[in-house]
Amino acid sequence: MRKLLLVFFIIFQSCSQISNRFAPKIGVIEINSVKDNALKIKIDVETSEGADAYIQYWTYTNTAQTDSVISYSLISREKNLHHFMLVDVNLNTKYNFNVVVQKKSLKRNSKTYDFSTTRKIPWVPYYRNTDSISNVKFDGYLHFHSRQIPGYLFITNGEGKLASYYKNEDNFKVSKWTNRETLLGILSNDTLHFTNGKKIIEYDKFGNTLLEIETGKDNIEHSFHHEVDLDENGNVMTLVYNERIMDLSAVGGTKTDTIKGDGILVLNHKKEVVWEWSVFDVMNPLDDKTILKSKKDWLHANSLFKDKQGDYYVSFRNISQIWKINGKTGKLIWKLGGTDGDFIMPEDAVFSGQHNIRINENNELVLLDNGNLRFKPGFKQASNRIKMLDINAGSQSRLLTISLDTIQMKAKAKDIVPFPKKYFTHSQGSAEYINDSLVVFCSTNTNRIVFTNKNGNVLGNMPLEYSTYRVQYLKALYDTSYVK
Amino acid sequence: MIEKKLIRVTTYCMFFICLVTLNSCSDDLEEELKGQLSESNISTESDATALIDGIYNGLLAGGWDYYASGVLARATDGITDVFILNDSKYRPLETYDWSDEDISADLWASIYTVVDRANWAILLIEGIDETAFKDVSREQLIAEAKFLRGLAYYDLTGLFGSVPLKLEPTQSDEVGLARTDLEAVYVQIEADFEYASTYLPGKSYTPGKASKGAAYGLLAKTQLRQLKWEEAGANIDNLIALGDYNLFTESNFLELFYESNVLDDEFIFSVMSLGESYSTASNHHLKFFTPWGYDTGWATVGLPVGIYNEIESEDERNEVYFEEYPYLYGGAIKNAIDDFGFAINRKFGSYNRDVTAPGTGYVAYQNYGISKMSVPVLRYSDVLLLKAEIENELNGPNTDAYNAINQVRNRSGLANLTEGLSSADFKAAVLKERAIELAGEGQRKDDLIRQGVFVSTLNQYALDQGYSVTITKDYQLMPIPRTELDLNPNMEPNPSNNF
């Protein structure tokens, strides 16, 4: 009987160790810097065969080290060699971390280690390190870029701290965080033009290049401008320039005049054209009385959006108009704004020189109304005397939400956030809601990212060293709901 | 019995299984941490040039400070008799009412920003592998950084005297440094310019980039501050001997300041502006030297009547400095001295934009934001006049001295300077020539101090202008900003902090 007890004791002992013994094991954990990027931390982990693994890392928010903010890497599943890249770390910060491995319900944490990030990266042209947004904390991130050579894409967190950056030897004109958690940019090797370039690049969030499309290669002749994004199928959609040679002698031009107009180009990741559209398909330049003046940049498309039904929306600055275009046939569905729009517009909904258009979840149109009087429908400067003064001296940019009644063909301004006049941006820029009480406004002309409440009162701002075409709010960089 | 045996067999089986489990299921993994994070990720030539560009960028401080927008010129020429400031914002500077200790605070901050960027650049570029450099050598890039750091300290010492000499980048919020002996700061400035003169190319394709000539010139100026005439003379001679520079004679003196001539080889070093847009890489300089009613300038400033009256009638520079001007609204001829109490100085103004906005009136006002105008830091006429002054100081008014000043006079249509002047008269003539030639370019204060006439000249000027103030040597240095004194317990005030 004593023997039996001993055996049971041993069985019990071994059972209690079984979960520990059976839990997947952790071998070498290797942590390394990434060349040319101070905010990417590479961690490779060796585990037992077929295990899931992730990194949890945290900073203490008080000196007693009782409160912490924990972040998680992506999860790596069913492997024995796991490669992680931490893409959400701040400069000059000490992080504690451990590796968590799991297989079925058996889980193991490694010992706790730590690493510290680089103190400063002064060659990154960033915003000035001020306390200017200490009153503006929010969940999520902002994405913007820096228009200089070398170019940078940035992601900052809700405290205004730099969380990630991506560098390119060329200059980012426009960039976008996509629905597939990748970053798209239009690149150019000059710093003269604001928003067009001859190359599109796509990075994954770890900084690896996924796709490069170049004008003049792969049978693509167009150059790209103002917008690049992925559609719901993961195809790249962008605005392009289309040149047409036309006889403009009837309006005082030459018989072979060149008109530079806009188009939409949709490409898959094999760089094959999936869909194409040109402004010349739906509008005749000869119908535009000012064509001789505007032929070098005819309507100036500056924003593109595709809705859930698959139709496109294009914003044209020069005519202060937004067009809805059938995503299959390319036919013009309606025109909003400008002098010949299809909707009845109350005065407070009239926009001019607008940017950054999209349809929100309530099926309303949201946009930055730059308020540039130069493009205001029907606006005429009064006299020579007034002409001496800046036409936009009293102008104001607004975040505008418009509800559209497409039966009665009536537009209505649903929400208006007027921004302070001193941050007026006559060109470029963006504005969107971060949450119900916080709005982010990119005032490109004043090199500022401005935060306001719903009434447009300033809560904080981030001064930028170099301008960005727009600023985009991101709820999260990736899904971490696997953590239970 | 059978039952008991069965239990025994079962238990032994389980025992065996447990043993097997305990030993065999454990693979050989031992937890271990490897690897480390490196401190710097800067590794390419473009990283290095971006660092250098960042320093240059600091000279314009976003377009509104340091060399931009006439800010430095106001704190140098603006306190002398060649630049009158009637704007409400700068009126206290003009009238020597410096009771606001932060009167030059923005300059202090923006110049130290340049110092810090240069320190970072030097540290980081030194850490880049030599093989990364192909188009330009590592030494040349470091030389550019050192030139710009030298220039920043040259400007800081001119404004504030002995200042904290900071040669390491700021990496934490450590308490600020105490003042360094002025002599030691000058040793460092000279060392930076000497390094620059060794490693920079003879002439850059643009005066916007530091060059050997610019380094010789600024080195000479640093030595002149210390009255080291002989050493300064040698460096001025080095600069002239490069043969890269000459006076602008292709057209009138006025056109030297046109946008189309920013690359002229009279300019040895300029702060250049890309003029990309109103807010990007534009320096707004053109808005801060002329009144609105003339060319839509934003500044009621100009050339004081005293110095204006000394300009000879046949002097071509009368195209730049003048009293009769066409009124913006309608073009009727008006008189600036009647309207503003000074003559207009149009070295920097909207109508010089022959590239970005050629024309006059409203035509010249449009494209406001786009100006590619430079801010000259060192011109060849400045160098020639220093040559004349140094020669006279060392050897009296000899042929070389006359030759140097006459080149500048002849260029503006003036006859040679009267021959046979005494050394003292020649000195006065050079001083006057420099005042007229360089008004608005920030040289006058150093000239007056160097020649020991700062106090006498400015008391006369204050009297002429009706400012009830007695100028002393204490006015040679601006107040240390109150912000700096509050934040930095190691910093001592200047006498002007007590005005």
Nearest neighbour of B31 by CB, restricted to A26, A36, A169: A26
Residue A204 near residue A210, CB atoms below 8 Å: yes
Is-above-0.80 flag for pTM? no
Can you give the pLDDT at residue A454?
96
**Other CB atoms within 10 A of residue B207 CB:** 27
Tell me what pLDDT residue B370 has: 64
Which DSSP letter does residue A179 get?
T
For residue A123, give the nearest of B54, B277, B365 by CB distance.
B54
On whether the CB atoms of residues B80 and B169 are closer than 8 A, the answer is: no
In a domain, B237, yes or no: no
Question: What is the pLDDT at residue B480?
Answer: 97
Q: For residue B264, is it within any domain?
A: no
What ranges in B366-481 are assigned the alpha helix state H?
380-395, 399-411, 423-438, 444-450, 454-465
Cα gap B478→B492, rounded to integer Å: 13
Which positions ≥6 away from A280 have C-beta within 8 Å?
A: A242, A244, A261
Q: What DSSP designation does B290 have? A: S
**Res. B236: pLDDT tops 60:** yes
User: Is the separation of the CB atoms in A93 and A118 below 8 Å?
Assistant: no
Interface test with A, best of B4, B7, B29, B38 (most A CBs within 10 A): B29
Of A481, A357, A361, the closest CA to residue A430 belongs to: A357
> What is the rounded distance in angstroms from the CA atom of residue B368 to the CA atom of residue A422?
17
The whole-angstrom separation of Cα A308 and Cα A288 is 32
For residue A18, which residues of chain B lie inside 8 Å, CB to CB? Answer: 21
Summarize pLDDT for A134-155 with one digit per residue, the tens: 789 999 999 999 888 788 999 9
Q: How many beta-carbon pairs under 8 angstroms link A with B?
A: 141
**β-bridge pairing A113-116 and A94-103:** antiparallel
Give the per-residue pLDDT at B241: 96
Number of neighbours of residue B499 by Cβ within 10 angstroms: 16
* Cβ contact, residue pair B54, A11, below 8 Å: no
CB contact under 8 A, A34 and B41: yes
Decide if B360 is inside a domain.
yes
CA gap B379, A187 in Å, rounded: 38
Q: Which residues of B touch A90 (CB under 8 A)?
A: none
Average pLDDT of chain A to the nearest whole number? 90
Average pLDDT value for residue range A315-344: 96
Mean pLDDT on A403-431: 95
In the prediction, which pLDDT does A5 show? Answer: 59
- On average, the pLDDT of chain B sits at 90
Domain that holds residue B310: 273-373
Backbone φ and ψ of B32, nearest 5°: -155, 140
Closest-CA residue to B154 (of B57, B221, B81, B100): B221
Mean pLDDT of A467-471: 93
Give the contacts of B267 (CB within 8 A, at least 6 positions apart). Answer: B207, B374, B376, B378, B379, B380
- The mean pLDDT value for B7-15 works out to 54
Best mutation target among A2, A28, A93, A123 (most B Cβ atoms within 10 Å) is: A123
Query: Using alpha carbons only, what angle is made at residue B158 by residues B154 and B164, rounded to the nearest 5 degrees?
Result: 70
Q: How confident is the model at residue B471 (pLDDT cuts 50, 70, 90)?
A: very high
How confident is the model over A228-241, as pLDDT tens digits?
999 999 999 999 99
CA-CA-CA-CA torsion for A383, A384, A388, A391, nearest 10 degrees?
Answer: 30
Interface contact flag, A192 B276, Cβ < 8 Å: yes
Query: Looking at residue B24, what is its pLDDT?
Result: 45
* C-beta separation of A189 from A170 below 8 A: yes
CB B11 to CB A4 under 8 A? Answer: yes
Name the minimum distance, in Å, from the CA of A327 to any CA of chain B.
36
Residue B9 has pLDDT above 80, yes or no: no
pLDDT computed for residue B4 by the predictor: 54
Cross-chain CB nearest to B43 (options A30, A35, A148): A35
A45: CB partners within 8 A, 6+ apart: A26, A27, A28, A29, A30, A53, A55, A76, A81, A82, A84, A99, A101
Pick from A11, A48, A110: CB nearest B18: A11
Note the pLDDT tens digit of each residue in B126-148. Answer: 988 889 999 899 999 999 999 99
The CB density around residue A393, as the number of other CB atoms within 10 Å, is 10
Query: Would you place residue B25 in the very low, low, confident or very high pLDDT band (cuts 50, 70, 90)?
Result: very low
Q: Which residue has the tokens 């100085």?
A: B345
Sign of CA dihedral B290, B293, B298, B302: positive
Of A39-48, B30-39, B326-335, least confident by mean pLDDT is B30-39
CB-based contact A25 B40, cutoff 8 Å? no
Mutate to test the interface with A, among B128, B277, B292, B368 (most CBs of A within 10 A): B277
Question: Mean pLDDT over residues A459-467, rounded?
Answer: 85
Nearest CA in chain B to A9: B15
Q: Write down the pLDDT at residue A274.
A: 96
Query: Average pLDDT for residues B70-94, to the nearest whole number?
Result: 95
Q: What is the DSSP string of A72-133?
A: E---EEEEEEEEEEE----TT-EEEEEEEEEETTEEEE---EEEE--S--TTS--B---STT
pLDDT at residue number B440: 97
Q: CA separation (Å) from B413 to A83, B387, B432?
A: 76, 20, 16
> To the nearest whole angstrom, how far is the Cα of B142 from the nearest Cα of chain A?
15
The alpha-helical segments, DSSP class H, found in B205-281 are 212-225, 229-241
> What was the pLDDT predicted at B442?
97
Task: Give tens-digit pLDDT for A43-52.
Answer: 999 999 999 9
Q: Which of B276, B268, B299 is nearest to B286 (CA)?
A: B299
pLDDT single digits (tens) A384-396: 444 445 678 789 9
The domain total for chain B is: 1
A7:B171 CB<8 A: no
- Provide the CATH number for the domain formed by A141-474 in this structure: 2.130.10.10
Buried b (16+ CB within 10 A) or exposed e, B368-391: bbbbbbbbbbbbbbbbbbbbbbbb
Closest by alpha carbon to B307, among B16, B131, B495, B84? B84
Q: State the pLDDT at residue A194.
A: 76
Confidence check: pLDDT of A55 > 80: yes
Residue B172: its pLDDT value, please? Answer: 66
Please indicate whether, in this complex, the C-beta atoms of A123 and B50 are within 8 angstroms of each other.
yes
pLDDT tens, A293-307? 889 889 999 999 999
For the segment B190-199, the average pLDDT, to the nearest whole number, is 97
Q: Determine phi and psi for B445, rounding to 5 degrees.
A: -60, -45
pLDDT tens digits, B350-386: 888 888 777 666 666 666 656 778 999 999 999 999 9
Question: Which of B3, B33, B42 is the mutation pick for testing A, counting most A CBs within 10 A?
Answer: B33
The whole-number pLDDT of residue A202 equals: 97
CA B275 – CA B371 distance, rounded (Å): 5
Q: Which residue has the tokens 């007693």?
A: A64
Share of chain A above pLDDT 70, in %: 92
Residue A124, pLDDT score:
75
- Average pLDDT rounded to a whole number, residues B25-38: 77
Which residue spans of chain A are classified as CATH 2.130.10.10? Answer: 141-474
Q: Do A388 and B362 touch (CB under 8 A)?
A: yes
pLDDT at A41 exceeding the cut of 80: yes
Q: Residue A49: its chain B contacts at CB < 8 A? A: 27
pLDDT value for A251: 87
Q: What mean pLDDT do residues B455-476 have?
A: 96
Who has greater pLDDT, B467 or B358?
B467
Strands across the sheet containing A171-177: A171-177, A182-188, A199-204, A209-214
Split at pLDDT 50, 70, 90, the class of B406 is: very high
Q: What CATH number does the domain located at A2-116 have?
A: 2.60.40.10
Measured between alpha carbons, how far is A367 from A315 in angstroms, rounded to an integer? 9
Query: What is the ipTM, given to two decimal places?
Result: 0.73
